[in-house]
A and B are shown apart, each in its own frame.
Chain A
Amino acid sequence: MKADIVIIGGGVTGTAVARKLTEYELDIILVEKEADLASGTSKANSGIVHAGYNADPETMKGQLNIQANPLFDKLCSDLNVPFQRTGSLVVGFNQQDLETIKQKKENGDKIGIPGLEIIGRRRLQKIEPHINDRARWALYAPSAGIVSPHELTIALGENAAQNGLQVMLENKVEDIETEKGALKAVVTNRERIECDVVINAAGVYADSIARMAGDEMVIRPRKGEYFIFDREYGDLINHVLFPTPTETSKGILVTATAHGNLLVGPNAYPAGKEDLATTSGGLVEIMKGAVKLIPDLPRGGVISSFAGLRAAAPSEDFIISPSPSVWGFIHAAGIQSPGLTAAPATAERVEQLVKGYYPSERLVKKDDFQETLPEKPHLYDYDEGDLEDWNEYIDRREDYGEVVCRCEHVTRGEIIDALHSPVPAQTLDAIKRRARAGMGRCQGGFCGPRVVEIIAEELGISPREVTKKGPGSEILQEKTKDLRLKKKTADKENRDNQRQEGKYKDPAQDAAKNAEQDAEQATEQAAEQDTEPKTEKQLQQVKIESGGADGE
C-alpha cells in the first residue's frame, strides 16, 4: 500500500503529530504494534501538565514544555479530554530545599512561567490541609495541571482518524526500506507501505527503528512504579504535590488524576524495553515517598499499581530532528518527561520538519478539517447532581440505562460507543481506557464477564477470542458447556431488532446530535466516514480503517 506519511507509534507523540498533519491534504498512516493506541509510555505516567519552571530553555524539552502548556485548555476542550489546571506545589522541608525552590522560581520567572510564588507554611497548610506538618515552604505554580494521558492520546488519534488518518494497530515495524539515501517504504509484520516521509515516534523502541534506517540512536528506558487509589480519596489534596528534588532523587509525587483518583509515584530505575513489572521493593519505596508529603495517605485505598517506561536518551533531551542519513526520515524520540505536556508543541515542531520535505504547493490545508471530537456521553459526568439529564440519552438508546461497571458507573451504551469509536476499542483494556469500565475499585471483577460478552456480541466474535490487550491475552481458555439464558437471548434479540431499526448507528453521530451547531458539520463527516459497518473481516484483521481508507 501507499501513503504520503507513515507515523510509527501510537503514543501521545505519534497521535499529536498525526492530528497536526491531518490538517493537510496528505495520506497518513499511523502504525502501532500493540492492540490499541496509548499502550506504552502514554498509558502509564503521572498525567501532569507541567508548568515549566524546571525547564532549561536551552533544551528541546524545556522549550517545548513552555510552548505547550498554554495550549492545553483549548486542546482538551476540543477533544473532550478531562483536564484541570490544578496548580502544583514543590514542597520544601529544610533550608536546602528552600534554596532549590528559590532557584526554580528564579528560572521560571526568567523564562516567563506565569504566577510563580513561594508560599509559607501557613498558606501551604491552608490550601493543602493534609500536607505533612513539617513542610515549611512551597513553590506554587498555578499553570500546572492534570490530564488523563491515555484519554488525551486516544482522543488525538480519534480526532486524526476523523480527519482521515488511517490507524493500523498490531502492526509492528520490521524494516525501513531506503534507496540511495531516500526513504522508500515501511515494512510491518502485515503490510509494506510505500511513503515519502516517516516519523519515528516509537517510544522506547525508537532506537531500534532508527537503526533500521541506519541511524545511530540509544534509548535507555527508565521504569517508574505507581499506586492508584480509589476515587473516594481524590479530594484529599488540591494540587499536584512534588517533593523538592535532590541531587540523587527526583522524589515521589502525589496528585489527583483527572478522574479524581489519587496517584502516587514514580520511582526511576533503568529497565528493559518490555519490563513493566512492579516490584515489592519499588512499591514500598513509592508508598514511603508519598507518605513524606501526605502522612495520612489511606494505604488501604489502593485499587491498582502499575509501572511505566520513560524513553530516555543519553543526552536526557528530546531528539526531534531529521535523520542525518535518510531523506524523509524524522525522529521524534527520547521523549521522556515532560513528553506528555510537550506533545502539542512537539507536533508543531515535527510539522515544520515535514514541511522541509514537500514543496509548499503540495502542503494544502484541508478546508474541512475538524478540530473537535464529538462528545461521547459518560454517566459518571452526571453523578454530581444532574442525573436526571441522563434520561435524554436513555430516550435515544436504552443501553444508556444499563449500568455494566458498577464501580465507575459505566453503561452498556458507553461500552458500545467505545467499540465503535473512530479508533475502535477491541480489547478489555481498550474499553477500560475509553469508557472506564473496570477502572474502579473491583478492577473488573464484576463487569469483566459482562464486558467480554458485549465485545463478543458487538464484534460478532466468540467470547474466547476476546482479549485483555491483544492476541495471547485471551480471557477465556475453552468453552465447557452451552448455557443459554432465556433472558440474555431475549435481550440480544431486542438489541438486534433495534439495530435493524437503525438505533445503533454510529454512536459518535448519535451522541453529537444535540451538540452545538458547529459540531454538527463535523459529525456528518464522521458519519459519512463511518457508515460502512465494521465487518467481521476487518475486525479479524484488527486493522482499523477509518476515513481515508474508503478511497483506497
Chain B
Amino acid sequence: MVSEFKDKYQLVIIGAGPAGLGAALAAEERGVKDILLLERDYFLGGILPQCIHNGFGLDYFGEELTGPEYAHRFIDRIPESTVQVMDETMVLDITPDKEITALNRHQGVQKIEAKAVLLAMGCRERTREAIKIPGDRTAGVLTAGTAQRYINIEGYLPGRKVIVLGSGDIGLIMARRMTLEGAEVDSVLEIMPYSSGLVRNKVQCLDDFDIPLKLNHTLTRIEGDKRVERVVVSRVNDDLEPVPGSEQTVECDTVLLAVGLIPENELTKQMGIELDPVTGGAVVNEQRETEINGVFACGNVLQVHDLVDYVTEESEIAARAVSEYLSRRRKKRRKKIKLTAGEQITYVVPHRIDYVYQDKDKKTLKLFLRSSVPVEEAELKVVDDRGQELISSRKKIVTPGEMETIILPLQFLDEDIEELTVSVTKASQGAD
C-alpha cells in the first residue's frame, strides 16, 4: 500500500482530542519536526464535537465557546501545520521501545517507530457495572456521554422519560439537553451530600429548568422487561448505604448514568507503565513523562480534568517537555523529589520532580490536586521532608469536585529535598 505516511517519527501522539491536538501544535511551535497524530474516530476533537453546549474556553481563550468551537480553534490550525494526522486509526499496541502497531482501513496493520510518544487517549465513562446497580438488563440504560452522542451527533433521542444518576457536569449538562430535546427529566440523583459539578452548571442546567437534584440519593434497582419501565430510588446514610424504607419507585423509560470517568490507560498498562491507583493515570514526573523515558502523557488520560482549558494547559506542559527531551536539553536532579498526597488530599500530579532548570528563580511549577472532602476556609500547604513549609495558599472552599492548583516557585527546591507533602486543612482561627 502506498502511503503519504512514514514509518518513523520524532513524536507520535495517540489521540486527537483536545490534549493531543494541543500538544501537537504546541510541540511544533517549539520546533519538534515530524509529528504524527493518531486518532481512532473519523473526526478530530475527541469528545468536544458532541459537547454542543457552551462554557468552554473561558479560562484559556478568555471567551465562552461551544465544544465544537473550542476544538476547531485547534483543528483549523492543523492543515497549515506540519503535523500529519492519521484518523480512523486504532493503536493496538505500543512497546516500551516506542514501536507502535496501528490499524486502519487504508494502511492496514502497520508498525510506526517514534522517538517520543505522547499518550493522549482521554477517558471513558464508568458504567452501570462500575457501581453495581442491580435489576434487569434492559434497553434504556446508557451513559450520559453515549446519550449525548446519539442526540448531538446522530440526531436521535434515546429516551422520553429520564432519570439521571450522578450530578457531575456531564449529568447536569445531559439533564438539560434531554429536556431541551423534548424528554422529561424526573430528577438528578447524587449519592454524595453535594454536587460534584460546577456551580454554574447546577444553576444553568437544573435550577433554570426546574429539574430536582436529590442529594444523598441513589438508584438501587432497575426494572423492566425489554426496556426500562421503572427504577427504585433510595436515600443513603452517611456511609452511602441505602436506607431501608426510603425506597421510592419512579416510572421512567431511560436511565442516564453520569457516574464518573476512567482514564483509558489500556495501552499504558500494556507498556508496563505504573499507574496511580487514585487518578487511574500514569505516574509521571513534572515533565508529564512516565517511567519510560520519552513516553509522556497529558489530558484526561493522565488525570480527569474539570475543564478542557486545563487539558490544553497540560498539553503545553507535555509539548514543551517533549521538545526538551528530543533536543536533549534536560538535566537530572541529583535526588528525585517525591510528591506525596498528605492530609485530606487524594492525589497530586506530578508524582515526582526529576529535573533541574536553569533560571529557576523565574520559574514555577504548578501542582494539580484534589481534596478528599469539602473543606471551608481551607489552607493548602506544601511541606518538605525537613518539616519546612515551602508555600501555602488560602481558599474559601475546596471540594473533591474541583481540581485545585498550587504554584510552587522552583527556587524553593534545593537539591537536598527528597519529598514534598501537600495537604489541605481548615485554616487556623484568627487567620482572617
Contact = CB atoms under 8 A, between A and B. Distances in A.
Interface of A: 232, 274, 276-280, 282-283, 300, 302-306, 379, 383, 387-388, 390-391, 394-395, 398-399, 401-403, 406-407, 409, 441-446, 448-449, 452-453, 463-464, 467-483, 485, 487-488, 491
B383 interface: no
A303 B127 contact: yes
Contact of B157 (A279, A399, A473, A478): A478
B108 A395 contact: yes
B93 interface: yes
B130 interface: yes
Given A449-B146, A472-B225, A306 B105 contact: no
B101 A449 contact: no
B243 interface: no
B137 interface: yes
Given A278-B134, A383-B92, A401-B105, 18 more contacts: A277-B135, A277-B223, A279-B134, A280-B242, A283-B132, A303-B129, A305-B129, A306-B137, A394-B109, A399-B105, A406-B40, A445-B125, A445-B142, A472-B226, A472-B227, A473-B139, A477-B160, A483-B153
Contacts of B145: 445
Contacts of B154: 449, 452-453, 463, 476, 483
A437 to B, nearest CB: 13
Interface residues of B, number: 56
B225 A274 contact: yes
B108 A390 contact: yes
Given A387-B101, A401-B104, A475-B139, A406 B226 contact: no
A445 B90 CA distance: 17
A90 B266 CA distance: 33
Interface string B147-160: 00111011111111
A442 B118 CA distance: 23
B178 to A, nearest CB: 11
B109 A476 contact: no
A474 B139 contact: yes
25 contacts: A276-B137, A277-B223, A280-B221, A302-B129, A387-B92, A387-B101, A394-B108, A398-B106, A399-B105, A445-B125, A449-B149, A449-B150, A464-B156, A473-B138, A473-B227, A474-B227, A476-B150, A477-B158, A477-B253, A479-B155, A480-B181, A481-B155, A482-B155, A483-B154, A487-B43
Contacts of B132: 280, 283, 302, 305
Nearest to A411: B103
Nearest to B127: A443
B124 interface: yes
B223 to A, nearest CB: 7
Contacts of B107: 401
B156 A463 contact: yes
Contact of B134 (A282, A394, A395, A470): A282
Interface in B117-141: 124-125, 127-130, 132, 134-139
B371 interface: no
